[in-house]
Copies of this chain bind each other. A is one copy, B any other.
């Protein structure tokens, strides 16, 4: 028992602007730990999303570009094509990646762009005040689905990891979560693996992270964790969907 735990070096001292219990900060920390451990700070470029994590560059001290809503994969493509030696990651929410930016992520994955995407699925548009996302659960109330998501009207939540895994171009696609310590350990491993695949120049990699948004779910952080576990994890199954070695998903 007992290890050393402290803020990764690449994280700044600035307190985050996130709501109490919001897992964005936690996921930032995992990314930061991986950057530290891989020793790639000096050649890493992050792409900030438009979403609650828009200020990620205030917390992780590497070069950053700030994307437009949904377009981070296109920006990452632009960078990696002209500077394949840089390590590039995008950090995107579910509104960002699964709604407005779904074309960009699919095509980046399909072209096999060699960057890493951290995809934070919190089943809602956090930043703009809790509107419905493509990943919102059936029946879930949001400000734009005040009577609960009606599947007959707007369909089922999109499973991004599975969707991307049908693509024939090799890639690493996995779904993780950070709602419990045991999952957090796994999630970090997956993030590290994703960065490593990039460093080896092997493939596109994406880690979907099932997350919580206590504020817009109208729950306390602890309740939110419970809801995520009960409702989301049974729909969004954890684990690797695709590795560059396996041709097709698990």
A residues 74-103 touching B (CB-CB < 8 Å): 99-103
Question: CB within 8 A of A166: which of B100, B112, B162?
Answer: B162
A240 to B156, CA, bound (A): 21
Question: CB within 8 A of A163: which of B101, B112, B159, B167?
Answer: B167
Q: Across the interface, do A154 and B111 meet the contact criterion of CB distance under 8 Å? A: yes
A residues 161-214 touching B (CB-CB < 8 Å): 162-163, 165-169
Count of interface residues, chain A, beta-carbon cutoff 8 Å = 27
Q: Across the interface, do B112 and A155 meet the contact criterion of CB distance under 8 Å? A: yes
Closest approach, in angstroms, between the C-beta of A119 and any C-beta of chain B? Answer: 16
Residue of B nearest to A81 (CB): B153
A163 to B163, CA, bound (A): 6
Residue of B nearest to A105 (CB): B103
A51 within 8 A of B: no
Further pairs besides A107-B134, A155-B167, A157-B168: 12, Cβ < 8 Å: A99-B107, A101-B103, A102-B106, A110-B155, A110-B158, A111-B153, A111-B154, A112-B152, A112-B154, A158-B167, A158-B168, A162-B166
Name 12 A/B residue pairs within 8 A (Cβ), A-sorted.
A100-B103, A106-B158, A107-B134, A110-B134, A111-B155, A112-B152, A112-B155, A155-B168, A155-B169, A156-B167, A159-B168, A163-B163
